[in-house]
Chains A and B, each alone.
Chain A
């Protein structure tokens, strides 16, 4: 089966987000980048499915030239092919991103059986690219999936709800957007990382549609509560104070 996993390059912010002076972006001068975690699971699912059913797992990203780093990570994880839809690095919205991905899918030689997306990207959190691609390509779509198997041309996908899960059985081809917890993404070995560096990355420059949209005015970091925690002590000696807080202040004992 032919599986495409669509991934996004996001800043690996660690513990603090610093904004650029014009408040339009995260200041990434001191940051690394990573694949959005939901999408790492999409890549893993694509690899597992093609390893057990045969076929090709392709990782695709839309982003600047530097985003080849993220598709190479997918190759190092054992994806078979990689595609970069290269942009100038400015932020693309949900509509133009979906249109560019749908256009790529239409132009592919191989028909796809399954298109995997992250449920929402870690940074923008738009919750809609997968659905929009499904709509463009007239494919069925399920979002928020935490368990996925394929049997006889049908995807069996589960979504968590309070007290259990809802099971969807969807005929392929289909679009499925997944959440972290779907699987445990593998760590690439040094050898596969080296092989991934030599692997071809298919490139094209998508036309950016003049999509009506949501225009970003500026970003802001939420206010941090001032001050810091009351230090109850150091090491096991602090336990008396902790007991005091648990019983009297918080009344949880």
Chain B
């Protein structure tokens, strides 16, 4: 049995959980084993969605103290299920929770964990392909021994439904938890008051880098973003200069974007930046240097000073409207 941790919101599994299940099913097929899922809150609610991925058994974890997320209590529950079911391998999506919960599980069991995997070859030993440097480097690695525990890289694997939907059996599972498992738990939620379209969801992103030169000069980019119905983002260099807040940063240690169009102004296209925008369908670079890396990687480019090109473009769009 391949056991996977599903994250969901009100019964709808997250996209990354479905992508993870696609890889989990691939492993189950390679090893001729079945696919099972662990769901916190409400196992029944996700049944249909996971059935399309070929999940046969859903372990629905319920406990009266599990009303809010508590990493160690989740890990303890997964650990108890692992003890009971003795799975071949355990998977979660590479999210904050997925990484955190499985890291607790492997720490308890003294096992290795491979984060952000994109492929698994479950031969004699499990060989995995995983992302390093946020995906600008790939590692091939082998689990030496013990039960393989891994997370899958977000948005790297397409969630493909199984050829046949499975008949799902839901099993209620009530873990034995004590106070220690609740040392860390969510005490409350704070809603964000940020305005505008979040970077991760924007259809158009206008990014600015060191070439923009100052925080005032970002006004031109703001205007372009507004005219295109998009959002402004930036490189780490612009954040380090203090021109933009960190929330605007795109890249390895910033936001991952997936817009239809990314207009990259005065950005060189360092690997750590490209990690954040590789989900963009199209990149239009505006840059003075025709040799700069983003021009090799993007779809369209204008060679020139963004301080001349962007205002001219803004004017053309305004006149065209």
Contacts and interface: CB of A to CB of B under 8 A. Distances in A.
The reply to whether chain A is a binding partner of chain B is yes
Interface of A: 13-17, 26, 37-38, 93-95, 98, 120, 122-128, 131-132, 134-136, 140-144, 158-159, 161, 163-171, 179-181, 184, 211-222, 224-225, 228-236, 238-240, 242-243, 245-247, 250, 252-253
Contacts of A232: 284, 300-302
Contacts of B127: 217
Given A127-B151, A222-B138, A236-B309, A167 B296 contact: no
B189 A166 contact: yes
Interface in B253-270: 253-254, 260-261, 268-270
A221 B134 CA distance: 12
Interface stretch (B41-49, B82-90, B162-170, B312-320): B312-320
Nearest to B99: A127
A181 B246 contact: yes
Contacts of A93: 112
Given A221-B138, A222-B136, A231 B96 contact: no
B158 interface: no
Nearest to B186: A166
Contact of B190 (A158, A211, A239, A247): A158
Given A122-B133, A128-B113, A131-B100, A235 B140 contact: no
Nearest to A231: B301
Contacts of B303: 231, 233-235, 238
Contacts of B116: 125
A215 B308 contact: no
Contacts of A94: 112-113
B103 interface: yes
B189 A167 contact: yes
Interface stretch (B24-32, B54-62, B141-149): B141-149
Nearest to B227: A253
B176 interface: no
Q: Binding site of B, secondary structure by majority: helix, strand, loop or mixed?
A: mixed
Q: Binding site of A, secondary structure by majority: helix, strand, loop or mixed?
A: mixed
Nearest to A220: B138
A239 B309 CA distance: 7
A232 B302 CA distance: 5
19 contacts: A13-B270, A94-B113, A122-B134, A124-B132, A125-B115, A125-B133, A131-B104, A135-B108, A166-B69, A171-B183, A216-B141, A217-B139, A218-B139, A219-B140, A228-B296, A236-B304, A243-B317, A252-B203, A253-B317
Contacts of A246: 228, 261, 317
B268 A181 contact: no
B180 to A, nearest CB: 9
A246 B316 CA distance: 11
A203 B253 CA distance: 30
Nearest to B312: A236
Interface string B122-142: 000001100111111111111
A219 to B, nearest CB: 6
Given A214-B114, A232-B301, A222 B135 contact: yes
B2 interface: no
B210 to A, nearest CB: 13
B103 A120 contact: no
Interface string B268-292: 1111100000000011110000100
Nearest to B282: A250
